Amino acid sequence: MSLAKEYRLKGISDSFDFWNEFKSFQAKINFSFISGKYEVKIASNIFELYQVFRLRYKVLVKEQAKKKRKYFKIDYDEIDFSCDHLIIRNIKKNKIIGTYRLNPNFERDQYYSENEFNLGKFKNIEGIKLELGRACIHKKYRDGRTLDLLWHGLANYCQIVKPDFLFGCASFFTEDFNKGMHLIDVLFEKEKISNKYNIISWTPVPSLFLTKKWKDDFYKKNCPPLLKMYLKAGAKVHGKFYHDSFFQCLDYLVILDMKDISKLFKKRYFKYLNLSN
**Among 86-100, 127-141, 210-224, where is mean pLDDT lowest?**
210-224
pLDDT at 244: 93
184-241 residue pLDDT tens:
999 999 999 999 999 999 987 766 655 566 767 899 999 999 999 999 999 999 989 9
Where b means 16+ CB within 10 Å and e means fewer, 171-207 reads bbebeebebbbbbbebbeeeebbeeebebbbebebee
Contact 45, 92 (CB under 8 A): no
pLDDT category at 173 given cuts 50, 70, 90 is very high
Map out the domains of the chain as residue ranges. 3-268
Q: What does pLDDT average to over the chain?
A: 88
Q: Is the pLDDT of residue 167 over 90?
A: yes
pLDDT at 16: 55
pLDDT category at 10 given cuts 50, 70, 90 is very low
CB contact set of 246 (below 8 Å; sequence gap of 6+): 65, 67
pLDDT at 107: 73
Domain 3-268 belongs in CATH node 3.30.300.30: no
Q: Would you give the DSSP letter of residue 212?
A: S
pLDDT at 9: 36
> Would the pTM count as exceeding 0.95?
no
